[in-house]
Amino acid sequence: MTKPNFFEDMQAKMQQAIENSPVKDIEKNVKAMMSQGFAKLDLVTREEFDIQAQVLAKTRAKLDALELRVAQLEAAEAERNQP
């Protein structure tokens, strides 16, 4: 048996042993329990979070621009009202 075949055979046997062991059942049960737990929480997906972060960034940029414009208008009004 050549070395590559030995390692491939060993890997296949280990994979088969893992699939036939209780580890696979435990993994399935843990995943199911975690899925149920996460379903009860008020979580959002990463995609939804990223979209909301983009919306917030755009809103913040608009707010900064509006604040600057208001400051400019207030300064212009103050200059007009000076004697």
| One-letter identity of residue 47 | E
- pTM as predicted: 0.50
* Span 24-54, pLDDT tens digits: 778 788 888 888 887 787 888 899 999 999 9
Q: What pLDDT, on a 0 to 100 scale, did the predictor assign at position 21?
A: 74
Instruction: Give the C-alpha separation, 13 to 11, whole Å.
Output: 5
| One-letter identity of residue 28 | K
Does the pLDDT at position 70 exceed 60? yes
Binning pLDDT at 50, 70 and 90, where does residue 6 land?
Answer: confident
Instruction: Give the C-alpha separation, 17 to 24, whole Å.
Output: 10
Instruction: Give the C-alpha separation, 31 to 11, whole Å.
Output: 24
